[in-house]
Chain A
Amino acid sequence: MTALHLHDRMFEVHPLDEHASESRLGRLDARAKLVGVLAFVVASALLTKPELVLASLAVAVTFAASSAIPLRHTLRLYLGALPFILLASLSLFLFVGLDNGVAMWARTSACVLALIVLASGTETFELFSGLRRLRVPAIITTLLMLTHKYIGLLTEELSRMTVARRARGFLGGRNLLDRYALKVISYTAGMVLVRSSERADRAYEGLKSRGFEKEMVGWRTKRIAAQETLFMASMLAASVVLLAVQMELVG
């Protein structure tokens, strides 16, 4: 199920980047965060025993709380994932039992929370740089970086158009049969895409005029230091412990 009208607020696509770089979490090397959080998420996804799942949720919540990310923002993103989570949890609860329903809810929530902290607690370009340094193919990371830049540009254009639209009295349609509304929305989206395409050739020349050849790379990169190692170690430790218990390797 797609996230619904909550997307409206996402016009500000970079609300957290400023806070991100200030916090302790934000200053960590992106690679460390990626490795730590991904390990935790994968491990958590493999848990089925209710006690373990709740434990992992506790870890995730602690993680979220200790980051500098405002609660409202975290909740807002969590709500976006909630429909699917609820559907799955409720259906398991109804058809299998309470344990399974709770486990499903806790497990998915833990993973989503961890991911939200990673996403919002890291400056996006840094995150993509980190991916590249973790050997994700250059074409993917370069596309990610470029797309990110243009999302910013286009969002601004879109909000300007939306404001202009509202100023002329368009408040959104009522239902799918509202053909006028659909037309206006199509027009807005169309303008965005046309402008997008017009930029494309100039963008290529812009890149080449700055000497671009193969891929986009960051300039100042961080190193793996004590904090990074500590972070990764704790996340990995938690993941390993949880997994070990799940697979009944340990008491």
Chain B
Amino acid sequence: MRCLEIHDVGFSYKDGTIALKGVSLGLEDGEKVAIIGPNGAGKSTLLHLVAGFRMPFSGEVIISGRRLDSDNADTLRRDLGLLFQDPDDQIFMPTVEEDVAFGPRNLKLDDIDGRVARGLRSTGIEELAKRKPHRLSYGMKKRVALAGTMAMDPRVLLLDEPTSGLDPRARKDLIKLLRSMDRGMLIATHDIEAAAEIVDRAIVLDVEIVMEGTMRDLVMAREALEKVGLEVPPISKFFGVLDAMGYQVENLPVSMDQAVAELTKVIEREGKHMHAHIHEHDHAKEADHAHEHSRGHKGQSEAD
């Protein structure tokens, strides 16, 4: 049984604006999927809808095999861990550890001490246990909220813009953290690079699904992305150029790690003849541009 299924879901605001239309998506246990789209595309609305906060909606949402409706929303929500974009929206207790315990206590779960400890550890904030949340930095607050969500042991995490507002270091740490988790998750974000590092599969959403596929498929579809106001990650663009120059890569990298891996492969494959390789194929149209620049450097190594 899939843990989450969304069939042809649609939702409109009270003033008639259509927020979502015909959205379908499936999520297996442990699978990580990104919902990518610009601001206002409905990503947040979709997550909140799945969590039972946007009723009535058209279509079906099936959580752990049960169909979501207004009567069972509270119960079904127990399998979900919704992480809000603004952590202040879901932190309520005066200390971090009490806040992490808040969820399990409300749900009357067992072993609260253990859950709190594990939640703090999995997000790396054990030393903040006795601190007051409102004094913490934004990035730390996001972790507190995540710890509290994890402590409830949800089957699926619904993350709303998890990397927004984070400084580079905090963002990197969070990406690493999410990547290491074995839980299924749906990540709504406009940060394509972060998504690329965490998920395998993604959909592009702009009220409707614009396209779906693996991250690699997505970054290849430059026009589709640009049409919804998104940009291909720089790394991918760069390798696109390289590819055109004749440096074919097996998989178009979408993240830094992938880029380094691919480049290493290319270098090993070509050995020291990389420079000569360009030289011999300087008739290729795509290489003209590069050739123009390299003309003045004939015979010299361009290893870097």
Direct contact of A and B (CB under 8 A): yes
Q: Which residues of A approach B to under 8 Å, CB–CB?
A: 14, 17, 123-125, 145-146, 149, 152-153, 156, 199, 202-203, 205-213, 216-220
The answer to whether B98 and A218 have CB atoms under 8 Å apart is: yes
A-B residue pairs in contact (CB < 8 Å), sample of 12? A17-B94, A145-B92, A152-B134, A202-B84, A202-B86, A202-B89, A210-B92, A210-B106, A210-B152, A211-B103, A212-B106, A216-B92
Task: Determine the distance from Cα of A153 to Cα of B97 in the docked complex, in whole angstroms.
Answer: 19
Tell me, yes or no, whether B4 is within 8 Å of chain A by CB: no
CB-CB contacts of B39-75 with A at 8 A, as 1s and 0s? 0000000001001010000000000000000000010
B152-A211 in contact (CB<8A): yes
Cβ contact within 8 Å between B102 and A209: no
Nearest CB on A from B143, distance (A): 16
**Seed contacts A206-B90, A209-B84, A219-B102; 4 additional CB < 8 Å A-B pairs:** A125-B93, A209-B51, A209-B77, A213-B74
Per DSSP, chain B at the interface is helix
| Cα–Cα, bound, A199→B102 (Å) | 20
Report Cα–Cα, A125/B149, bound state, in Å.
Answer: 22
Q: Which residue of chain A has its CB nearest to the CB of B51?
A: A209
Q: Is B101 an interface residue (CB 8 A)?
A: yes
A interface: dominant SS = helix
Whether A156 touches B94, Cβ cut-off 8 Å, given contacts A202-B84, A205-B89, A217-B105, is no
The answer, yes or no, to whether B88 is at the interface (CB within 8 Å) is yes
Instruction: Tell me, rounded to whole Å, the shortest Cβ–Cβ distance linking A67 to chain B.
Output: 20
Chain B residues within an 8 Å CB radius of A216: 92
Q: Which of B74, B84, B98, B149 contacts A219 (CB 8 A)?
A: B98
A123-B48 Cα distance, complex, nearest whole Å? 34
A212 to B102 alpha-carbon distance, docked (Å): 8
Which residues of chain B have C-beta atoms less than 8 A from A146's C-beta? Answer: 92
A199 to B86, CA, bound (A): 10
Q: B90–A210 contact, CB under 8 A?
A: yes
Let me know if B88 and A153 touch, CB within 8 A.
yes
Contact assessment for B103 and A210 in the assembled complex, using a CB-CB cutoff below 8 Å: yes
